[in-house]
């Protein structure tokens, strides 16, 4: 920055010199303005960094959120009564509550407590007592996992008469189900058990290896990993491909993506980022969630995955989804709201947040979400009409507000980025007005990709592309099963029993195994009472 020197002070006050000083002052003011903007930007980035590191990740605060370490202490209430499951047979039967319904589908073990013959004597008169009623107390008993060997014995038959008469003797072998992995002792239930724990409960294979040792079984994590790859890439992939065919037949989809580290990719270092893409059907359709592992975030991947799709696609605004043939993009107001929420968090300590411009933008977004909450029980046509009647006027005012404020804020500030994102995405953000089946946000895809993000925090990375592909297939089967109210463990067990024993080229047989098939056995389904 230039300074006014002593020679300048002693210089004659000519018009030329005065103009020179004015020019210097103008330059200095401009430099001060630039430095102030930079300082404000750095302060915002620091505050946001602190919020991301130590604050809640959601834009809204859940008042019921518990501390991870003292959940028991915070939840404990000595005055709270236990859920009542006791019945007295001589009293009027009460209406079944939630706890009674929860127990309906569980197997029952009955333990009787009668008086001994000697004790069945009246202490008053000495006569024999008769049973008046019963008092029943119910408990939920937990039976830990058990491991046993199942020996499959197939009988082979021949004809003694043919042997005696020197006739060509037939050898007839009794039928036996094909194994899920020939030459291995892994059963359908064991493969499903390991998959369920790793991909539903996020238990890494090395911890499962340790737990199997407690059962007296020495299973290396390499063996467990081989089972996962075989089960996914040799069996589940056939259902995955059918699910993909069904997915692109729908008119409304959601998409999102997140990073994945794969250590041994050909021609790439372990530090290179790979991606797990997620595609999901809309909330009005049969739930389908497909994960797709790819080495990059290039637009060719969604183009290939959505080849043949013709309809609306909800995204977060990432340009990789632009220009896909047949795709009508729909934006995400949750992302727009998040930008304004970040701008509010970036305000210096002690600022009046209630009157800030960022709060105004956030209020517009919240108003739109509040309206959507009121429309959620309407059918698609009614929701379409209500949005045009109530949401569109809010959007018109919001757009005018954005264009006005854009001229008044620094482009690189957190608020400037929030306004810029909304204006650049405006046509996509308003696309939810086009069809009552569409949603105002892409939260459906974000929620669906969270199980993978949680699992990634536990197993950190995949070793090979083959393993990453297997993970994508397994997550697809498990998350789609959960969305269709199936128990992942029981469903996977059923699949590994059936898939080795059907014609994999028969689409009707494969369709009967899809998560939404009405021919699946009841044992695969989660009780409607839960």
Q: How confident is residue 237, by pLDDT bands cut at 50, 70 and 90?
A: very high
320 and 238 both lie in a single domain: yes
Residue 368 included in any domain: yes
The per-residue pLDDT of the chain, averaged, comes to 84
Q: How many CB atoms lie within 10 A of CB 238?
A: 19
Q: How many CB atoms lie within 10 A of CB 12?
A: 6
Contact present, 152 and 207 (Cβ < 8 Å) = no
Residue 314 has pLDDT above 50, yes or no: yes
pLDDT tens-digit profile of 69-88? 344 444 445 555 545 444 44
> Does some domain include residue 161?
no
Which sign, positive or negative, has the C-alpha torsion 249, 255, 261, 264?
positive
Cα(465)–Cα(471) distance, integer angstroms: 10
Are residues 500 and 180 in contact, defined by beta-carbon separation less than 8 angstroms? yes
pLDDT for 201 beyond 80: yes
Write down the pLDDT at residue 524. 95
**21 in a domain, yes or no?**
no
Task: Please tell me whether residues 431 and 486 are part of one structural domain.
Answer: no
The last residue of one of the domains, among 389, 412, 439, is: 439
Position 91 scores a pLDDT of 44
Q: 477 versus 4: which is more confidently predicted?
A: 477
Same domain (yes/no): 309, 198 = yes
Place of tokens 């303005």: 33
On whether both 414 and 316 belong to a single domain, the answer is no
For residues 220-228, give the mean pLDDT: 92
pLDDT of residue 64 exceeding 50, the answer is no
Lowest average pLDDT, out of 87-96, 150-159, 202-211, 453-462, goes to 87-96
pLDDT tens digits along 20-52: 787 788 778 777 866 776 676 666 666 666 666
Residue the block writes with tokens 């128990």: 487
Residue 379 lies in a domain: yes
Give pLDDT, residue 47: 64
Which pLDDT does position 442 carry in this prediction?
A: 94
| 199 and 318 together in one domain | yes
Q: Are residues 446 and 319 in the same domain?
A: yes
238 assigned to some structural domain: yes
Mean pLDDT of 281-307: 94
Band (pLDDT 50/70/90 cuts) for residue 438 is: very high
Residue 304 has pLDDT above 90, yes or no: yes
171 pLDDT above the threshold of 70: yes
Tell whether 236 and 225 lie within a shared domain: yes
In a domain, 43, yes or no: no
Residue where a domain stops, chosen among 439, 463, 483: 439
**How many domains does the chain fold into?**
2
Residue at 380 is within a domain: yes
Whether residue 460 is found in the same domain as residue 499: yes
- 145, pLDDT greater than 50: yes
**pLDDT surpasses 80 at 414:** yes
Question: What pLDDT shows up at residue 89?
Answer: 45
Q: Are 274 and 241 in contact (CB under 8 A)?
A: no
The residue among 320, 428, 408 whose CA lies nearest residue 356 is 408
- Residue labelled with tokens 């389908």: 288
Q: Which of 494, 489, 490, 491 is nearest to 195 (CA)?
A: 489
Residue bearing the bigger pLDDT, 63 or 26 = 26
Residue 257, both tokens: 């993506």
Same domain? 424 vs 479? no
Specify the pLDDT at position 517.
96
Q: How many Å apart are CA 9 and CA 300, to the nearest integer?
A: 66
Using the structure block, give the residue that is written with the tokens 């064991």.
Answer: 190
- Same domain? 413 vs 326: no
Whether residue 434 is predicted with pLDDT greater than 90 in this model: the reply is yes
DSSP per residue over 313-334, as a string?
EE-SS-GGGTT-TTEEEE--HH
pTM of the full structure = 0.76
At 62 the pLDDT is 43
Banded model confidence at residue 344, pLDDT cuts 50, 70, 90 = confident
Out of 70-79, 273-282, 469-478, 495-504, pick the least confident: 70-79
Question: Which of 145-154, 229-238, 410-419 has the lowest average pLDDT?
Answer: 145-154
pLDDT, position 53: 63
Residues 247 and 215 in one domain: yes
Q: Is the pLDDT reported for residue 128 higher than 70?
A: yes
463 lies in the same domain as 411: no
Q: Is residue 496 part of a domain?
A: yes
Residue ending a domain, choose from 382, 413, 439? 439
Domain range for 470 is: 188-331+442-530
Angle of helix 188-199 versus helix 443-459 axis, rounded to 10: 100
Q: How confident is the model at residue 474 (pLDDT cuts 50, 70, 90)?
A: very high
Residue 57: per-residue pLDDT:
55
**For residues 397-426, average pLDDT:** 92
Mean pLDDT value of segment 303-307: 95
243-270 mean pLDDT = 90
Neighbours of 472 (CB within 10 A): 23
> pLDDT value at position 196?
95
Distance CA 530, CA 526 (A): 7
Spatial CA neighbour of 315 closest among 383, 380, 253, 399? 253
Q: Span 138-145, mean pLDDT?
A: 74
């Amino acid at each position: 920055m230039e300074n006014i020197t002593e020679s300048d002070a002693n210089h004659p006050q000519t018009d030329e010199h005065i103009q020179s000083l004015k020019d210097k002052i103008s330059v200095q003011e401009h430099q001060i303005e630039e430095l102030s903007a930079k300082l404000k930007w750095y302060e915002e980035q620091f505050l946001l960094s602190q919020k991301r590191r130590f604050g809640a990740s959601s834009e809204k605060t859940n008042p019921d959120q518990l501390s991870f370490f003292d959940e028991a202490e915070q939840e404990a209430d000595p005055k709270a009564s236990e859920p009542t499951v006791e019945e007295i047979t001589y009293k009027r039967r009460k209406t079944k509550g939630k706890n009674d319904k929860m127990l309906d589908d569980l197997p029952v073990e009955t333990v009787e407590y009668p008086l001994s013959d000697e004790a069945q004597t009246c202490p008053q008169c000495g006569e024999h007592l008769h049973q008046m009623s019963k008092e029943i107390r119910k408990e939920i008993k937990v039976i830990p996992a058990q491991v046993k060997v199942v020996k499959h014995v197939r009988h082979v038959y021949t004809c003694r008469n043919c042997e005696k008469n020197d006739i060509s003797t037939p050898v007839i072998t009794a039928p036996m189900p094909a194994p899920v992995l020939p030459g291995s002792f892994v059963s359908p239930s064991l493969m499903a058990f390991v998959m369920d724990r790793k991909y539903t409960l996020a238990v890494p294979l090395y911890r499962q290896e340790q737990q199997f040792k407690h059962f007296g079984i020495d299973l290396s994590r390499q063996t467990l990993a081989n089972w996962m790859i075989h089960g996914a890439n040799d069996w589940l992939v056939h259902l995955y491909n059918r699910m993909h065919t069904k997915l692109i037949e729908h008119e409304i989809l959601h998409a999102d993506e997140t990073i994945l580290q794969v250590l041994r990719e050909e021609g790439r270092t372990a530090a290179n980022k790979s991606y797990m893409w997620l595609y999901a059907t809309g909330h009005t359709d049969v739930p389908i969630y497909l994960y797709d592992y790819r080495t990059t975030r290039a637009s060719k991947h969604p183009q290939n995955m959505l080849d043949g799709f013709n309809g609306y696609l909800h995204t977060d605004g990432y340009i990789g989804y632009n220009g896909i043939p047949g795709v009508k993009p729909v934006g995400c107001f949750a992302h727009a709201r998040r930008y304004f929420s970040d701008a509010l968090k970036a305000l210096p300590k002690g600022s009046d947040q209630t009157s800030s411009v960022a709060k105004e933008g956030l209020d517009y977004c919240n108003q739109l979400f509040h309206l959507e909450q009121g429309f959620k029980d309407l059918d698609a046509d009614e929701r379409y009409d209500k949005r045009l009647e109530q949401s569109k006027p809010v959007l018109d005012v919001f757009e005018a507000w954005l264009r006005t404020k854009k001229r008044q804020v620094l482009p690189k500030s957190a608020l400037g980025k929030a306004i810029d994102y909304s204006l650049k995405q405006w046509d996509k953000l308003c696309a939810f007005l086009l069809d009552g089946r569409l949603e105002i946000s892409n939260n459906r895809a974000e929620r669906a990709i969270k199980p993978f993000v949680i699992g990634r925090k536990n197993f950190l990375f995949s070793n090979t592309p083959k393993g990453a592909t297997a993970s994508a297939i397994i997550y697809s089967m498990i998350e789609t099963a959960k969305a269709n109210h199936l128990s992942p463990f029981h469903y996977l067990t059923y699949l590994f029993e059936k898939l080795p024993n059907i014609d994999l080229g028969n689409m009707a047989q494969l369709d009967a195994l899809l998560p939404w098939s009405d021919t699946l056995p009841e044992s695969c389904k989660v009780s409607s009472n839960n």
